[in-house]
Structure formats: structure tokens, C-alpha cells
A and B are shown apart, each in its own frame.
Chain A
């Protein structure tokens, strides 16, 4: 695997939309060719090399390419956009849409990510060592197809609207989580090891939410059914089991109504 290191040297005056920072766009290119890749600063077309120092050549394919992003990229959006393979390591914090529509490969962020990380993610892996913003693994504005595959681990806290319209895959949040989790979801699961706020599983059709800590306010559409012993993310514990959202439509599988599940550790 060949490593390309891009280091922020001239910070953009406006937000940078850099959907070309991905192993797929870099694959087969030399450092000089990578510096020529197009980006937008605000609505002005520009090139990656204007802002970043690029060292190292990419591998022949996306899978053979590792990208290390150094320097302050807090104002850079769309890193890892639509990536299918390979690896990205962001040493600091990044702006919105990190790993949006990604299908494969791995993204590691040492710092925080802003909103809309892993929007409509289909596969691959994302590790956020700091905190995640709002709408992690959610659907794009107006869309009904959120994260459908892959795995996200947030070591810190997450913002609101995690897994909105989620269809599949897994999100693990080691810290706490803000309001609205898996709203409108039709699959997948979200594990919150810390505390959750309120409105978990609103209009949820299918999917699973696990909460290890406290829940400020339960949705009225969830009803307790039983207590179960489960091994969740490597931890064995006893959980109170709720089903819902009872105010939402639900499919039947083999004559049995399938609800969304909320498990709260006892």
C-alpha cells in the first residue's frame, strides 16, 4: 500500500469542498497529478495543490492507496466522499460530510468530525476518535435512504439525529448522544455506551437501539415487553426490552408484526 500525505499549508478563506480527497480519485496518480485535482473554495473552482502540500504517489488502485491528511482541515468538507476502498487517516478534525456515500475502505479521524459524516454510507469502516457532529450515518436532506451498511465507531460523543433513516449497518458511540436517534429507521443498529437524551426511535419502523447509560425521556410510542440478557458489542448485560414506535407503520414477516427494538441496560 502506498501512502500519500497531504498537509494543509494555505488555509482557504472560504470552506473547501474537497470531494476529490479519496483513494478512488488519487489512485494511479503521482503527487503532482494529485495536486491538480479539482476542488471548490466556496463556488470558485480551484485545485487541491493550492491548499495542500502533496507528498508521495498513490498506489495503482484505490485499495492500494492510503491517504494521510495533516494540518488544520476543520474547514474542509467531503473527505472520503464515495470512496470504495483504501484508507484515509485524518490527523486532526474535519468538517462536514466525511465519508459521505462511502462504499468501502476505512477512514480514521483522530479528532472530531462535523455534521453529516457517513451520510448514506453503504459499506466500509469509520473510526472517529473524538466526537461526531449531528446527522451521523443519516440520509441526505430530503432523502429516505440513510446508512445502509458498514460500521462506525465514535470514541467520544455524538450529536443529534444519529442514524436518521438508517437502513443497515452499525454505529457504536462510546460516549453520550444527543436527541433523535434512528428517526424513521428501517434497519441497522445504534449502540450508545453512554447516556442518551430523548426522542430515541421516533417513527422507527425497524432496527435496534442499545443504551448502556440513562435515557432522559422515553418516547411515548415505545412499550416495555420483557427483560433479556444480551451480549452487545462484547459486553454481556441484562437489558429492558421496548418495542416501537407503535405509532408508525410496521411490516409483517411470516404473519408477525416486526417492530423496532430499544434495549436499555438495567
Chain B
């Protein structure tokens, strides 16, 4: 045990929490609507681009840039749901194909508009913190991690404590009965799709200062989010947190002690193990 070990562990936890946040939005949409949003990663990078444009090109402080970026993605999410997802209700395969096509369209849109170069909004904070006298860790990563924890807590409170949360839990458990109790399920779908996209957007703005956005950066994020989704169990919010932490920590240790070239393979190894041992994911398919 040396200080490097703790640095890798810290890095794994920080990345794990940020991964968890990026998977949370997909999981929420799967849990409520049974729609798998393949365009999740692209919405994530769009939020990164929006925060980049607002803060670098227009010089707006990141205190404002962040909420504007998240809100924009929320509205884009609602527009996507109303125009593309709504007509596919009742056939999961159609929505899968449509969001897959959407992700390709959005990638090329980003390539056309923003160009192939990495773009990065300025760091929120500079410097590094001495962690328990063991090693120094970048402040931006710590702040991004705290922001991610904050957003995850807000999402959990929204679902467990608010009126809107009660209706979306009811809809995710039994859509037909919820509608018979007077809940407008299409409105709930619209808002929860928007919410899921907004969480992707939140992950995007939190992560953009650490990992600059490129038109294809969303692919990797989507991939990790889907691995986490399967490991944790489709639609399970706690599964996202645990799955995210597992992937983050294993990637960090694997890259450090085995080879950083194999970084991406560790997630897939865990995925295969989980599918062997618990095919429905660690938390199974649970209601919200």
C-alpha cells in the first residue's frame, strides 16, 4: 500500500460517480418508458458544447452557463420525445432504431457545426488539493465529482419525495393503472424523457472541463453508460451508482496496474462476469 494506491482509488471513485451520473439518465428513461435512448451520449456532448460556447465564445460565467446548458438539453429532450419517440409507443424496437439514427445524425451535426477538434470550457477552479498528505489531486476533478454527487442526490429526492416523483414511480410500476387513476401518462413520458436527457446534459457540463468534447466523445460515454445499465440492472437507480463505481474503480486500477491501453476492456470483462452470474444485473429489474 502506498500513496499511489490511494490516488488510483480516489480517481476510480471520482470517475465512477461521474459514470454513474451519465448512466442515470438512460436508466431513468428505460425504467419509466421502456425506451433505450441511444442518443444519450450525443445529448451529453451537446451540453458540453453549449457550456463551451456560452462560457468561451460569449463569456458568460459558468454559474449561468451550466443551468442554461442543462435547461436547453431538457427542452431538446422534450422535443425529441414529442416528435420522434411518441409515435413509437408500444413498439420498443422502433424507438431503439430511431434513437440510434438520431445519435448518428447528431454526431454529424456536431462535426459540421463545431468541427472535429476537441473543445473545452474553462476549468471552474484551478490548482490541486493535498489529499491526507498522500498525494495531490486536481481541484477540478474534485469539484466535478461533488457536483455529480449533488445532481444524483437531487434526482433521488425528486423521485422519492416529490409529487412528480410519485407519479413517475406509479407509471413505471403499472402504466395502465396509473392512467386509470387519472394520471396523464403521455405527459409523464414527455417530462421524464426530458428529465433523463437533462441528466445527460448535467453529466456533460460537469465532465466537459475534464474531458474535452469532440463530436464522437459521446460514443464512449454511451457505451460505458450501457455497460453500467446492464451491470446494475435495467431501470435500477441504485444499480447505476454501484455499477458506475465498480466500472470507475476497476478501470482506474486496471489502467494503473495492468495497462492503460486495456482500460476499456475491464468494463466488458465485468459485464461478461455479471451476465454469467446474474443475467438480470446486480439489482435486477426493479421499479423506481
The answer to whether A and B come from one shared complex is no
